[in-house]
Each structure stands twice: as structure tokens, then as C-alpha cells.
Amino acid sequence: MHRRDLVRGLALAPLAGAPWIGRARGSGYPERPISIVNGYAPGGSTDVSARLVAQALSAEFNGAATVVENRAGASGTLASDWLRRQPADGYTLMLSESSSFAIWPTMHVEGTRYRPLEDFTWIAMVCTSPMVLIVSPDFPAGDLAGTLDVLRSPRSESLAFSSSGAGSIPHIGCELLRHALGPGAKSPHIPYRGGAPAVLSVAKGETAWGVASLGSAAGLIEGRMVRALAVTSPTRFPQFPDVPTFVESGVPEMELNIHYLLHGPAGLPAPVVAPLAAATARGILKAGLKERFIGAGMEAWSGDNTPAVAQARVETELSRFKAVAARTGIRISG
């Protein structure tokens, strides 16, 4: 399935105020609709993964209504701050990626109002996605080596890059690439309110390049509206076997996958966390849905998947980006 077909199908999936019609059979959790919030505009990888999780939970809970709500702004941190103040009843959850729970808390000059480990209940891993270096169709280089030469040259000052928001993991990916290229890399940054508009800006030539989540860029890569030059995963992604990795291209600093997790406010009771974690772990690997993740440029999490695993991933990501900040001096403001 092409990603554009997936997104078209997901347009029929739940949005705020438009719940799926369904019912949970039996007693216990859930007894009313579950809302899954994400901190980006519709169409990007976080939004798509939230909708796929909503489909998984609805199926696992015998058709229980599940809705998705977009609360875009500040790379998911506004939605995260909102979530920590919601009732811990299991009916308001969030699909987050590393930007809000690891990058902003460790790299933003003012930090965040929430504490990633103390203010949330981490429920389950959902998926991972590499990022991909994309350039506009008229970018003045035809391959990765030539592109890197251009980006480290004085010409870079006129070649702006896009990201899904200041402090998002795509933004950090771009900053890491500039750091790897040296002091001559001076492309200005133009942030957007999500992965979809950021990638579209490259396709339209409003910006010249970006390091985007593959989930956000896959459709425009398939449509040849942007050019994909390298992915940040340790191995090539099955959907795009002809796109090399940064590692094999001699830029090991750019090995940087995105992790997506499901969580809720702190204090979710065990009788809620247990069925949510089990339903997520089962549902995302069911035949059909697993392939839809791949079609969207993401891979459903297939390893051990428990709340303890999710909590440990958050701890790992916090340590990773704290080390990145110390090594590179990259800081986020705004």
C-alpha cells in the first residue's frame, strides 16, 4: 500500500469530535471512548502512528470507540504539558516521540514544565522510524556526496532547511548534520508545526532540504516530489532499499531512529495499564496493521513490549540526548 493511500484511509479514522461508532463488550475498562492525543498537525508520522494505534485498540477492545486529537505546537510539548493535568483514568492518552519526552527536557534552554519520568505513566512501545535526508527537486547537487559538499560551503547560507518544529527530533537531526559538516554549514532553520507541512515545504521549494521522519516523507518520496538521499537507520529501510544509510555513507553521527510510545498521566491504575499495554502490543503486530506501519515508513515494535520496557526506553532516550547536548553544544530556544 502506498503511503498516500494509507493517509487517505486514515482520513476516515477518528478526529476530535468525530468518534468511531463502536462498543466495548463485557464489563470493565474501557467503558467509554478513549482519546489519543498527539502534539503535531495531521498527516505527519506521529499523527499517522496515533491513528494506527487507535485502530489497534478499537479492534482489541471489541470495537470500543477510540478518537484521535491533534494538539499541535512546540514539538509536542504543549500537548504533553496538557496531558499531565488530565485525569488518570485511562481515557486520555498520548502518542509521543523523542522530541517531547527526551529532547526538550535535556536540550531546551528553559527545560519543560513536566518531568518525563515522574509526570506520566508509560504504557507501551508503538513503533520506530528512521529519518531521511530530503532535498528539493532543484537542489544544486545530484547525490549525497555533492549535497554534503554544498551544505558545508558558503552557498549553504541561502539554502534553508525545514523541520517539524524547534526542538523536534528532525530539527536535531538537521543540527547534528550541520555539526558533522563543520563550521561552514550555515543553512538557516525554518520550523513548521508538523512533519507533513515541513516536508511539503521542501517539495514546493520554500526550503531546500531537511532531515524528516520517513513516515512524514514517504508519500512525497514515492511521488518523486522530493529526493531521498540517506536514512538514519543502521540498515536500509525495506520500503526504500535503494536509499543508502548515513552510516554506510561515512557519516556515523547520523544514526538516529525515532521511537514512538503510548503514555498517559501519572498514576494510571494497574487495571487500566495492563489491558492497554497488552492490547497495544498485540494489536500493532496483527496481520494488516503491521504492514500499514511499513507502508507509512515506520516499523511496529516487535520486541518485548511492557510498561517497564517503555519506561526504560524513555530513560535511554533522556540519557542519549543529554549526551548529544554535551558533545555538540546544541541547544534549543524559542
pLDDT in tens, 48-93: 999 999 999 999 999 999 999 999 999 999 999 999 999 999 999 9
Q: Give residue 9's pLDDT band: very low, low, confident or very high (50, 70, 90).
A: very low
pLDDT for the residue 84: 98
- Whether 8 has a pLDDT exceeding 60, the answer reads no
For residue 17, what pLDDT band results from cuts at 50, 70 and 90? very low
**Considering the chain, what percentage of its residues have pLDDT values greater than 90?**
89
Q: Which three cell numbers stand for residue 145?
A: 556526496
Q: What pLDDT, on the 0 to 100 scale, is given for residue 334?
A: 73
The CATH code of domain 3-128+258-328 reads: 3.40.190.150
On whether the CB atoms of residues 261 and 313 are closer than 8 A, the answer is yes
- Better-predicted residue by pLDDT, 13 or 134: 134
Name 316's Cβ contacts closer than 8 Å, sequence gap at least 6. none
User: Which cell goes with 330?
Assistant: 546544541
Which of 44, 110, 120 has the alpha carbon at shortest distance from 79? 120
Instruction: For residue 4, name the pLDDT band (cuts at 50, 70, 90).
Output: very low
pLDDT surpasses 50 at 15: no
CA 124 and chain centroid, separation = 15
Position 8, amino acid:
R
Q: Is 47's pLDDT higher than 50? A: yes
Mean pLDDT of 1-12: 46
Q: What pLDDT was estimated at residue 14?
A: 42
Position 333 scores a pLDDT of: 87
How buried is 214 (Cβ within 10 angstroms: 0-12 exposed, 13-18 middle, 19+ buried)?
A: buried
Q: What letter does residue 101 receive in the DSSP assignment? A: I
**Per-residue pLDDT at 292 exceeds 80:** yes
Mean per-residue pLDDT of the chain: 91
**Confidence grade of residue 21 (pLDDT, cut at 50, 70, 90):** very low
User: Which of the four pLDDT bands, split at 50, 70 and 90, describes residue 22?
Assistant: very low
Helix, strand, or coil (residue 16): coil
pTM flag (> 0.75):
yes
Confidence (pLDDT) at 13: 45
pLDDT per residue as tens digits for the range 314-327: 999 999 999 999 99
Secondary structure element (H or E) that encloses residue 214, with its range? helix 214-222
pLDDT for the residue numbered 317: 97
**Per mean pLDDT, which range of 19-33, 101-115, 232-246, 251-265 is the poorest?**
19-33
Is 3.40.190.10 the CATH classification of the domain at 131-254? yes
pLDDT band per the 50, 70, 90 thresholds, residue 217: very high
- Percentage of residues in the chain having pLDDT higher than 70: 92
**Do residues 102 and 324 lie in contact, with contact meaning Cβ atoms separated by under 8 Å?**
no
Per-residue model confidence (pLDDT) at position 45: 93
Q: Kindly report the CA angle at 296 between 65 and 276, in degrees rounded to 5?
A: 35
Q: Domain spans of the chain?
A: 3-128+258-328, 131-254
Per the CB < 8 A criterion, the answer to whether 268 and 90 are in contact is yes
* Mean pLDDT value across residues 176-199: 95
